Amino acid sequence: MKYLLIITMNPEVWDSLSEEEHNAVFAAHDTFQKEIVRPGELLSSVALADPSKTKTVRVRDDVPAVTDGPYIEAKEFLAGYYLVECETLERATELAAAIPDARYTAIEVRPVEFEVTTDLKPRH
C-alpha cells in the first residue's frame, strides 16, 4: 500500500531553531532517506519552497485570478512529503515518526487511493 507522509511546518517554529539545529534536521533527512531506500519503501520525496514564493490560482466564471502566497490562511504550511510503499499502516506511521520534522510539527499519514503516472520525460 502506498502512503503519503505529509510534512507541515510552522515558520515561527522553524525560525526559532538555530543554524546548527537546521543543519541537524537536514542531515537527519539524508539519513532517513538512505534507510528507507534500501528496503524499497521510498518511492519519492519532495521539499517545497517557502510559501512566500507561492502563487494561488482560482478560476471564477472562467476567469483565472492569481494571488501571491499560500492558498489558505494558516500558521502551518505544506513543507514537503515522502511517498512510501509499506506493508501496513503501522509501518507507515513508524516511518512518519522517524521523519526529523516530527520533533517540531505533525506528520500526516494518508493512504493513497490511486496514482496517475506517465512515462513522459521532462523537456528542458
Domains defined along the chain, listed by start:
2-111 (3.30.70.1060)
Which H or E element spans position 119? none
Residue 115, pLDDT above cutoff 80: no
Which of 74-78, 80-84, 98-102 shows the lowest mean pLDDT across its residues?
74-78
Partners of 6 in beta bridges: 81, 108
pLDDT in tens, 12-58: 888 899 999 999 999 999 999 999 998 999 999 998 887 778 888 88
The residue ranking higher by pLDDT, 87 or 52, is 87
Q: Which of 87, 82, 85 is nearest to 99 (CA)?
A: 82
Answer whether 62's CB lies under 8 Å from 32's CB: no
What is the predicted pLDDT for the residue at 102? 93
Mean local confidence (pLDDT), 89-102 = 95
Please provide residue 39's backbone torsions phi and psi, each rounded to the nearest 5 degrees.
-80, 0
